Amino acid sequence: MNTGKTLFAQVMEFVPWKTFTRIVARHNGDAGTRTLTSAELFRILAFAQLTWRESLRDIEACLGANASKLFHMGLRVAPARATLSDALNGRDWRIYHALAMRLIARARRLYADEHVLDEVDAAVYALDSTTIDLCLSLFHWAPFRATKAAIKLHTLLDLRGAIPAFIHISNGKMHDVRVLDMLPIEAGSIYVMDRGYIDYKRLFAIHRAGAFFVTRAKDTMDARRVYSAPVDRAGGIVCDQRVRWNGYYAQQHYPELLRRIRSRDLATAKALVFLTNNMALDAATICALYKCRWQVELFFKWIKQHLRIKRFLGTSENAVKTQIWAAIATYVLIAIVKKELGIEASLYTFLQILSVSIFEKTPILCALGENLDTSEDSHNTNQLILFDF
């Protein structure tokens, strides 16, 4: 790594710029552009994410104060906030969506060798959504309630590395279960979701695609037991049954047997009922898989705390989606840098260090203290050694 490059420039080297150029050309993104290209806009949005800028005025002031360093960021001049606003409204958000998906595909290949559970070799995905509240008078295109606007981030999280494999941005009114129609189902994979996604026809579509699902049963579940498998009650498993739906339409939409597992938490004595179409894994592993679903909740909490997706730089639909996809691309980019450089520090630590030393000209590993020899023999000082033990 060239030590003359800033930390920001070193991170940007991991962006596939040739691919990004083809994406921009495909969407005709830079047609008529003279002052701020699509690539420059992404660099600015990535800078805003990494340094926690909150507004266009904030970005303009910070870039203007570092005018001598803009060349090392890949920028020609510090753009005015009006120029940034026009770019957010005018550049097609699908450009940054395509870039994010390209980075996601790369990150998933890097983390493919990780396992969620030792007993499970298949890919495991957690599906959930989070709601971001907005002001209805400013974001009228995202209706949610009578006096409130909101958008939803429907996310399919690959639990190998916590990489989002699929994201759909909708208004707040879209029901979570409808996203099952959009998911790219992979045969042999396991999809973990809460009971809000229970729809017999859609679950059977996952089953017919050769994939597996794990979810919780609703309290109003109407099914009859066909037979029961022996269980070890000492481990918290109450029963492991094969069931069939009772209702006429339920039988039509899901005609196959389902597996119903009832477990009891030994610490709290709380009972949970799980449904799955996986008949091979043991009951304790199925329960552990559903417990892993909590990682998607932690992912939502993490990105809301550390990425700028709750306060937006523009109010149009295009500006909001551009900022969200740029934030996701930045998150995945940092995960790629962390994996390819073998960085042991957490993503949180990595981002904290970048936020305060983005213009420092030092290798990334040195900035994180990853390759520093801290042994006593490595220190070369003028202090004489009085005692040699």
Q: What is the pLDDT of residues 304-348, one digit of tens each?
A: 888 888 889 999 999 999 999 999 999 999 999 999 999 888 888
pLDDT beyond 60 at 194: yes
Looking at residues 45-50, what average pLDDT do you find?
92
Task: Note the helical H segments in 111-217.
Answer: 200-208
Distance CA(329)–CA(100), nearest Å, equals 4
> Do residue 11 and residue 87 come from a single domain?
yes
Give the domain extent around 26.
7-96+313-367
Distance CA(314)–CA(319), nearest Å, equals 5
Highest mean pLDDT among 265-269, 345-349, 380-384: 345-349
> Do residue 231 and residue 275 come from a single domain?
yes
What is the count of structural domains for the chain? Answer: 2
> Do residue 216 and residue 275 come from a single domain?
yes
Nearest to 20 by CA among 43, 36, 3, 2: 43
> Do residue 215 and residue 279 come from a single domain?
yes
Q: What is the pLDDT of residue 175?
A: 93
Least confident of 14-28, 163-177, 276-290, 370-384: 370-384
Looking at residues 217-232, what average pLDDT do you find?
90
Q: What is the pLDDT of residue 370?
A: 62
> Do residue 329 and residue 279 come from a single domain?
no
pTM: 0.86
Residue 112 token pair: 């493919």
Render pLDDT for 274-294 as a digit per residue (tens, 0 to 9): 999 999 999 999 999 999 999
Angle of helix 38-51 versus helix 347-356 axis, rounded to 10: 100
Nearest to 279 by CA among 255, 262, 260, 254: 260
> Do residue 326 and residue 276 come from a single domain?
no
Which band of pLDDT confidence, cut at 50, 70 and 90, is reported for residue 246?
very high
Distance CA(312)–CA(89), nearest Å, equals 12
> Do residue 261 and residue 326 come from a single domain?
no
- Beta strand pairing call for 148-158 and 143-145: antiparallel
Q: Mark which of 258, 292, 326 sits at the end of a domain.
A: 292
Does some domain include residue 59? yes
> Do residue 287 and residue 328 come from a single domain?
no
> Do residue 279 and residue 250 come from a single domain?
yes
> Do residue 211 and residue 266 come from a single domain?
yes
Does some domain include residue 158? no
Does some domain include residue 132? no
Does some domain include residue 256? yes
Looking at residues 183-210, what average pLDDT do you find?
94
Which band of pLDDT confidence, cut at 50, 70 and 90, is reported for residue 377?
very low
Q: Mark which of 292, 323, 354 sits at the end of a domain.
A: 292
Distance CA(356)–CA(7), nearest Å, equals 10
pLDDT beyond 50 at 385: no
Other C-beta atoms closer than 10 Å to the C-beta of 270 total 9
Q: What is the pLDDT of residue 380?
A: 47
Does some domain include residue 104? no
Residue 277 token pair: 């179409």
Does some domain include residue 187? no
% residues pLDDT > 90 (the chain)? 62
pLDDT beyond 80 at 375: no
pLDDT beyond 90 at 207: yes
Does some domain include residue 82? yes
pLDDT beyond 70 at 139: yes
Mean pLDDT of all residues belonging to the chain: 88
pLDDT beyond 90 at 45: yes
Of 368 and 193, more confident: 193
Does some domain include residue 307? no
Task: State how far Cα 98 lies from the chain centre.
Answer: 15
First to last CA, the chain: 39
pLDDT beyond 70 at 163: yes
> Do residue 238 and residue 325 come from a single domain?
no
**What are the strands, taking DSSP E only, across 41-147?**
124-134, 143-145
pLDDT beyond 60 at 386: no
Q: What is the pLDDT of residue 374?
A: 41
